[in-house]
Structure 1
Amino acid sequence: MATQEKTTSSLPPEIVEIILSKLSSVKSLLRFKTVCKSWNTMISDPLFAEIHLQSSKSSNYLFLRMYRNSSGRGFSLVKLEGGRIHNEAVLKVHYGSFNQVLGECNGVLLLNENLHARKEYAFWNPSTRRQAHFSSPYIRDQFKPVTHGICYDPITDDFKAVMIAKESYRIYSCKNNSWTEKKGIGQFYFCMVGWGVFADGAIYWVLGELDNNWIIQLVYFDPRTDELKRLQKPKELIGGNDEVIMKVASLRDNSLCLYFNTIDDRTRIRFLIKENGVLENPNWKEFVVIENVVDAPTVWFQLLDFVENKIVIKIDQKKYLYYDPREKTIEEVEERDEMWGAFVPYLNTLLFPARVSGGK
């Protein structure tokens, strides 16, 4: 070991840190922790995990997707490349039958063991295979979550799980291993995306609110204050929004994207980007409009991200669109396999809740 320490110390520590942080493979980083004590300390540092995460976001995007076959359920690691979907590997949660995705944040997934019971939950990092369980104490009362989300507060180094019901919301803090309940901001009955999208330091949802009439609201949770608030919608969507179907997505640069179409114009989708760092009254900038897409409402769509400088949109369980913003061309790709469910971004990350019961 003394020889290894002498060899690795020939480079300045800051140079070693830069080199290691550029490695995309978490598996390699975990192996390199055994090289010497200084490398182990460096790679184990939460700040190094943050730096490595940013490097991982700039690499080629991989996605997780649920699969179902005769042997059960799990997650398939896939890559979108050359206009095709390629299977890279099959990943399974080691402990329990956690297979329902309820949110994603910086490569860490919030999972549920039984979507109907909604009592047992888990945090799972597919890169490191680390897994931690926690339980909801609210299963026997009237609290029935409409949607969930997961977020990370870098200031307190805390992952939080958020559950929104009709009239209240509840927050689980990993660092404190505790629950907090707060009064809601409306009566919400459904979520357009299914779970909250973590972007620009907050969780965002598109929720349906019953207030004399159905209204589609943009809602966000700020992990710094634990407050749930409404987000001001773009001026194009203020008034008459009962006829607009919209969704949100997080792009690889961590910005929030809102995309929508109207019931009367299903073949035209507009994409807006929210001003980063502003929550109260943000500016929205239009960055692309896709004309003449498949005649189907946005409720079936899922924006994945930019892959190979093309926008990739899932339009139903088996079909995808590749849109080239420069050429303004649309390529329709059909998938033929047994996978199903929504795509979840896969990031090679070392991040994981620092303190939570049941961590493995």
Structure 2
Amino acid sequence: MHMAAQHPTAAVLLCEVVMEILSWVPAKPVTRLKLVCKSWNSIISHPHFVKLHLHRSSKNAILLFTLTQPLTLGEERKQSIVLSSVESFIQNPSSALDAQENHHSLHVQDWVSGSCNGLVCLARILYHPNNHICDIWFRLLNPLTGFISENSPCLSVSMHTAFGFGYDESSDSYKVVTVIRDSSGTVTAQVYSFGGSSWKRANSFPAFPFSVEDNGHFIGGTLNWLGLRNPHGGAYDWADVTLDMLMIVSFDLKSDTNKQILLPKGIDEIPGQKPTLGVWENSLYLLHDYKNTHLIAWQMKEFGDENSWTQLLKISFHHLGVERLLFPEFIFENGNIFMLRGRHRFEEVFYDRRDNSVKRVNILANNCYFDIFDYVESLIQPC
């Protein structure tokens, strides 16, 4: 007796059931399930499944670290990416960063300029110090799948350049933005959509980020920088900065336009040190010192609503055991745990506002400097 052929409708339903189940499996094991059979490989590779899986992936559970070994005489700088769960890192930071199975080597000239939807944006920079110009190419890396995109077209810019990377849902495209300040102090922006053939000039920027290391912070389809309204000739001394010069610029990736986000109304004087802007757990934060004695943290509860700025924290430097504001590195647990860079190169200070506790941790990851990014594991591989 012959087995009855499977009805097409039943096959479709079975495929949908398998897709539904697999979409809840974490990204790393689901990549191995491609080997089970051809039909599963086809399902997992389908663009609809990839987006569904990303939508259902755990957010704020994974951290991405870039480790950079200090330069030594006669040796090239070495860089790598490390992925760690938030839980593992908080429990034992050094052990999490030393886990070799989660390391991905980077080219000596590559710099991580952002992370979004499981993709890491790498900037390759070639400096021409004689004329203060550098050539930059960007490409995308998915550390989980090993996907690497083609390079963007080369962009020749001044050395005073800041980057930002994010996702434009309206066009289903990933974009990188460069904010450039020329010798006259004029600030402009160039936008590249991965898969495209050229850079596009955007409207002029009203401010320039404090530091070229300050990547744009992605949230709600926008990239955000904290900067100064064009200071004289592009140079400034913080002691001469006034509150009305300080602003947050928000760049909309859909329209390629920018607007200003007002600072919290409770800030009535210029901080003694440069403030820090950041996006943690899908909220915009602003951190600054108050009279060089306290750390203040503001959270924008609803992004885009300037009336939703809320003072989340005010803690004295004395309680933190420091004499000055520490550089904020990350915020965990919905704004409850603050990770601050300590006085020494590998020291981190963790402050938990739930019990007002302070913990100092020496993080020794093969004597490497590190930066930290929010990350979500995904199967995304854009064209």
TM-score, normalised by the number of residues in structure 2: 0.76
Between structures 1 and 2, the one with greater helix share: 2
Report the alpha carbon displacement of residue 16 of structure 1 after superposing the two structures with TM: 2.7
AA of the residue aligned to 2:314: V
- Answering whether residue 255 of structure 2 is matched by residue 255 of structure 1, we say no
Report the alpha carbon displacement of residue 329 of structure 1 after superposing the two structures with TM: 1.1
Report the alpha carbon displacement of residue 54 of structure 1 after superposing the two structures with TM: 4.2
- Paired residues of 1:301 and 1:315 also in contact (CA < 8 A): no
Report the alpha carbon displacement of residue 224 of structure 1 after superposing the two structures with TM: 1.2
Task: After superposition, give the CA deviation of every residue in 1:103-134 in whole Å (9 maximum; x if it has no partner).
Answer: 22222222122363342222111121211242
- Answering whether residue 310 of structure 2 is matched by residue 285 of structure 1, we say yes
Task: After superposition, give the CA deviation of every residue in 1:41-62 in whole Å (9 maximum; x if it has no partner).
Answer: 4323344333333443346333
Candidates 112, 124, 133, aligned match of 2:123: 112
Find the counterpart in structure 1 of residue 184 from structure 2. Answer: none
The aligned runs of 1:239-250 (5 Å cut-off) are 239-241=268-270, 243=272, 245-250=274-279
- Paired residues of 1:100 and 1:115 also in contact (CA < 8 A): no
CA distance in 1 between partners of 2:52 and 2:321 (Å): 40
Find the counterpart in structure 1 of residue 236 from structure 2. Answer: none
Change (3 A) 1:156 1:210: closer
Report the alpha carbon displacement of residue 82 of structure 1 after superposing the two structures with TM: 1.7
Task: After superposition, give the CA deviation of every residue in 1:303-332 in whole Å (9 maximum; x if it has no partner).
Answer: 243399633333453122222222121111
Find the counterpart in structure 1 of residue 131 from structure 2. Answer: none
TM-score, normalised by the number of residues in structure 1: 0.81
Matched residue SS, 2:40:
helix
AA of the residue aligned to 1:29: V
Task: After superposition, give the CA deviation of every residue in 1:118-176 in whole Å (9 maximum; x if it has no partner).
Answer: 4222211112121124245441xx65453100010122110000000122100001143
- Paired residues of 2:111 and 2:123 also in contact (CA < 8 A): yes
Change (3 A) 1:59 1:342: closer
Change (3 A) 1:200 1:152: same
Matched residue SS, 1:42:
helix
- Paired residues of 1:112 and 1:122 also in contact (CA < 8 A): yes
Report the alpha carbon displacement of residue 240 of structure 1 after superposing the two structures with TM: 2.8
CA distance in 1 between partners of 2:154 and 2:278 (Å): 30
Change (3 A) 1:52 1:309: farther
- Answering whether residue 119 of structure 2 is matched by residue 92 of structure 1, we say no
- Answering whether residue 249 of structure 2 is matched by residue 219 of structure 1, we say yes
Give the unaligned 5+ runs of structure 1.
356-360
- Answering whether residue 220 of structure 2 is matched by residue 200 of structure 1, we say yes
AA of the residue aligned to 1:241: I
Task: After superposition, give the CA deviation of every residue in 1:195-230 in whole Å (9 maximum; x if it has no partner).
Answer: 111122211111233346642221111111111222
CA distance in 1 between partners of 2:340 and 2:349 (Å): 5
Change (3 A) 1:315 1:52: farther
- Answering whether residue 196 of structure 2 is matched by residue 176 of structure 1, we say yes
Change (3 A) 1:60 1:173: closer
- Answering whether residue 81 of structure 2 is matched by residue 81 of structure 1, we say no
Candidates 314, 328, 348, aligned match of 2:356: 328
- Paired residues of 1:120 and 1:133 also in contact (CA < 8 A): no
Instruction: Give identity over the alignment, percent.
Output: 22
The aligned runs of 1:21-100 (5 Å cut-off) are 21-26=23-28, 28-58=29-59, 60-68=61-69, 72-78=78-84, 79-85=88-94, 86=96, 87-88=98-99, 89-93=102-106, 96-100=107-111
CA distance in 1 between partners of 2:16 and 2:93 (Å): 39
- Paired residues of 2:60 and 2:374 also in contact (CA < 8 A): no
Q: For the pair shown, which has the larger CA radius of gyration, 1 or 2?
A: 2
CA distance in 1 between partners of 2:326 and 2:60 (Å): 29
Find the counterpart in structure 2 of residue 358 from structure 1. Answer: none
| Structure 1 consecutive aligned stretches of length 4 or more whose deviation exceeds 6 Å | 8-11
**Could you say what the CA RMSD is over the residues aligned between the two structures, in angstroms?**
3.3
Matched residue SS, 2:199:
strand
Matched residue SS, 2:54:
helix
CA distance in 1 between partners of 2:194 and 2:176 (Å): 8
- Report which stretch shifted further, 148-157 or 11-20: 11-20
